[in-house]
């Protein structure tokens, strides 16, 4: 059907919307594809809906070619299936929960793994019914703390999710590759550049997880890749630990005065002046205090030690300490733990106590894998205005784990 432009429900904007942070959001609104209803919630206008429908048609065609059949679940789901898998609590504040007039608990589904599994369990009773792959294109809901980037980070969004059911590992691999190949065809038909990277499965779990990422300057994810073809999301990339170093003959740790050096930059400058050296941030051991909020509401502090030329990545620690919520320790946290000397924290004390033991601070201490036995560090002495040099990992301090 031909629609005349004079009758088309379309209004473009001359100016960028004030709430739009990224280019894609600004252009979609200005060109009349979508219209904001609330933070992270958008109405699809006729022009945008046509494009969305075309994309869905391509997805449906490729899903059918891969042997998948389409179903459709309600967005409003009861509590029980998510309670059984533990995800009713695990999602924390990230989902929309509600009660009906009788007081029964429901949620606006952020994903439908439980529903798919229960449906197949209900209708199929024999391995002879398998293999099976079913999928849906459905709106999902997640209570994003900071909805931004338009459709890329919204509270309501459209997802295609597919699930295969197999009774052998070989069948699982076949189903996986069928979906993987379908994704490649979808991206190719849409004319989009893409990179397949190893990913973290998060709350969904699983033995293998890959993401199809479209490289763009305004993206929110970061991935790494090598010339040899390896690629991984930073959340899933695992740091390779160097070989340990023999430390026989190393000198003992030495405490030195370091006034007004609470940062790595000030510490390096002061150390080079006092010790007449050519030290860099990579020679220092940075100790970052994080606060973990567990599912039961309890709060735990943990110290992460890493080379001073590196930073703690927010997404990587979220994955490492999941399902706990992670945030930087607050001034109130430090007040409750007076043995944590802000700006001068380290894994060692003059008495030889190891951070993490009850005799020191009682706080769990984890290390970056690069901090292997035999490496020597300049770091805090757990004394105000003092640091220590020649501190040897594996001899003078240990960790409660690696992250």
Tens digit of pLDDT for each residue in 337-387? 888 899 999 999 876 544 444 335 568 999 999 999 999 999 999 999 999
Q: How many residues does the chain have?
A: 403
Among 127, 47, 114, 105, smallest CA distance to 85 is for 114
Task: For residues 159 and 259, state if they share a domain.
Answer: no
In a domain, 264, yes or no: yes
pLDDT at 183: 97
Q: What is the mean pLDDT of residues 82-92?
A: 91
Count CB atoms within 10 A of the CB of residue 273. Answer: 9
In a domain, 186, yes or no: no
Our count of domains for the chain comes to: 2
Please say which residue of 171, 204, 232 terminates a domain: 171
Angle between helices 169-190 and 46-65 (to 10 degrees): 140
In a domain, 182, yes or no: no
Q: What is the pLDDT of residues 318-342, one digit of tens each?
A: 888 988 889 999 999 999 988 889 9
Is residue 396 a contact partner of residue 374, using CB atoms and an 8 Å limit?
Answer: no
Among 62, 44, 66, 43, smallest CA distance to 53 is for 44
- Range(s) of the domain holding residue 73: 5-171
Give the max Cα distance, the chain: 85
The CATH number given to whatever domain includes residue 334 is: 3.90.960.10
In a domain, 106, yes or no: yes
Cα–Cα distance between 371 and 399 in angstroms, integer?
10
Percentage of the chain exceeding pLDDT 90: 68
pLDDT at 257: 95
Counting Cβ atoms within 10 Å, is residue 351 exposed (0-12), middle (13-18) or buried (19+)? exposed
Task: For residues 307 and 159, state if they share a domain.
Answer: no
Task: For residues 16 and 156, state if they share a domain.
Answer: yes
Q: Whole-model pTM?
A: 0.73
The CATH number given to whatever domain includes residue 32 is: 3.30.930.10
In a domain, 32, yes or no: yes
Q: What is the mean pLDDT of residues 30-41?
A: 94
In a domain, 260, yes or no: yes
Task: For residues 162 and 272, state if they share a domain.
Answer: no
């Amino acid at each position: 059907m031909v629609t005349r432009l004079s009758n088309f429900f379309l209004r473009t904007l001359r100016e960028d919307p004030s709430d739009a942070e990224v280019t894609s959001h600004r252009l979609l609104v200005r060109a009349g594809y979508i219209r904001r209803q609330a933070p992270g919630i958008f109405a699809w206008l006729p022009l945008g809906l046509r494009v969305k429908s075309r994309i869905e048609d391509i997805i449906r065609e490729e899903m059918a070619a891969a042997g998948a059949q389409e179903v459709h679940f309600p967005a409003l789901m009861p509590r029980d299936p998510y309670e059984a898998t533990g995800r009713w609590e695990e999602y924390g504040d990230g989902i929309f929960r509600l009660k009906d007039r009788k007081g029964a608990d429901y949620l606006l589904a952020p994903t439908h793994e439980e529903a798919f599994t229960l449906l197949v369990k209900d209708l199929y009773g024999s391995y002879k019914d398998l293999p099976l792959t079913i999928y849906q294109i459905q709106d999902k809901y997640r209570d994003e703390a900071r909805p931004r980037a338009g459709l890329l980070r919204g509270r309501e969004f459209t997802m295609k999710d597919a699930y295969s059911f197999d009774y052998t590992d070989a069948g699982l691999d076949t189903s996986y590759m069928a979906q993987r190949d379908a994704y490649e065809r979808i991206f190719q038909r849409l004319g989009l550049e893409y990179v397949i990277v190893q990913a973290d499965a998060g709350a969904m779990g699983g033995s293998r997880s890959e993401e199809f990422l479209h490289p763009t300057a305004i993206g929110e994810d970061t991935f790494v890749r090598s010339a040899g073809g390896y690629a991984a999301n930073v959340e899933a990339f695992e740091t390779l630990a160097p070989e340990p170093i023999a430390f026989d003959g190393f000198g003992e740790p030495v405490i030195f005065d370091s006034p007004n050096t609470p940062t790595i930059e000030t510490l390096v400058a002061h150390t080079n002046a006092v010790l007449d050296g050519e030290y860099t941030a990579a020679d220092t051991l940075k100790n970052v205090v994080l606060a973990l909020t567990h599912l039961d509401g309890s709060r735990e502090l943990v110290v992460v030690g890493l080379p001073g030329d590196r930073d703690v990545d927010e997404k990587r620690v979220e994955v490492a300490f999941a399902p706990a919520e992670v945030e930087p320790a607050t001034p109130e946290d430090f007040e409750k733990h007076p043995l944590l000397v802000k700006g001068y924290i380290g894994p060692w004390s003059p008495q030889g106590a190891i951070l993490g033991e009850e005799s020191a601070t009682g706080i769990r201490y984890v290390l970056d894998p690069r901090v292997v036995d035999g490496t020597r560090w300049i770091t805090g002495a757990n004394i105000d205005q003092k640091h220590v040099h020649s501190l040897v990992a594996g001899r003078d301090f240990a960790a409660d784990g690696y992250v």
